[in-house]
């Protein structure tokens, strides 16, 4: 007990002495509450899908959403319901042993009831020790719908691909 008291006194003195220096380097606020809500909304989508929490992911979207994965799969952007999107994701994601969609910082621009957001993403997909990694950026259009922010458009722009794309076909087969 005697050794703890001097340690506590030392740490208290140290933190008190450091407080003025830290006050000079105070963090400035980053963003607005609306921007925070939008960052949370769009960040929740890949995390929810990685965790198989499809209901949470589905609630992030407006009643109709444009999904653009053309840089990954080709074709054209698709307009669909959130339920249809979850069905599509359930047709591949559970076929991987693990997924991790790591997002970089999310930037948000708000204009009234409309907003855009974007973030770097490194999307890791494993079957066993085999890995497929599409890397690029997500772009989201977000709109206030019934007083709640909802994603109306989501685009993945792939800039790099590492690993074995063939794992996607295996995952689709395994997810059946």
- Residue-number span of the structural domain to which 83 is assigned: 31-175
Number of domains in the chain: 1
Instruction: Indicate whether 7 belongs to any domain.
Output: no
- Reported confidence tier of residue 24, pLDDT bands at 50, 70, 90: low
pLDDT of 72 strictly over 60: yes
Q: 93-104: per-residue pLDDT in tens? A: 999 999 999 999
Instruction: Indicate whether 139 belongs to any domain.
Output: yes
The pairs formed by 119-126 with CB atoms below 8 angstroms and a separation of 24 or more are 119/42, 119/43, 121/46, 121/156, 123/46, 123/99, 124/98, 124/99, 124/100, 125/96, 125/98, 125/99, 125/167, 125/168, 125/171, 126/96, 126/97, 126/98, 126/99, 126/167
Rounded to an integer, the average pLDDT of 62-74 is 97
Q: What is the CATH number of the domain that holds 63?
A: 3.10.450.50
Rounded to an integer, the average pLDDT of 65-83 is 98
- Reported confidence tier of residue 31, pLDDT bands at 50, 70, 90: confident
Rounded to an integer, the average pLDDT of 10-29 is 54
Instruction: Indicate whether 59 belongs to any domain.
Output: yes
Helix (H) or strand (E) holding 117, with range, is strand 114-127
User: Is beta strand 148-163 parallel, antiparallel or unpaired with respect to 61-68?
Assistant: parallel
Instruction: Indicate whether 1 belongs to any domain.
Output: no
């Amino acid at each position: 007990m005697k050794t703890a008291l001097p340690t506590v006194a030392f740490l208290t003195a140290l933190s008190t002495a450091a407080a003025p220096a830290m006050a000079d380097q105070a963090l400035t606020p980053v963003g607005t509450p609306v921007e925070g809500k939008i960052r949370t909304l769009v960040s929740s989508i890949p995390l929810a899908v990685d965790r198989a929490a499809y209901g949470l992911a589905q609630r992030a979207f407006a009643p109709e959403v444009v999904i653009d994965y053309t840089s990954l799969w080709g074709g054209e952007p698709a307009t669909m319901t959130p339920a249809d999107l979850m069905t599509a994701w359930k047709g591949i994601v559970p076929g991987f042993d693990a997924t991790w969609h790591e997002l970089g910082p999310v930037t948000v621009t708000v204009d009234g009831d409309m907003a855009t957001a974007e973030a770097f993403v490194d999307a890791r997909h494993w079957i066993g020790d085999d890995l497929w990694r599409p890397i690029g950026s997500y772009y989201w259009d977000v709109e206030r719908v019934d007083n709640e922010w909802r994603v109306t458009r989501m685009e993945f722009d792939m800039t790099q691909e590492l690993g074995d794309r063939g794992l996607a076909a295996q995952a689709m087969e395994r997810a059946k």
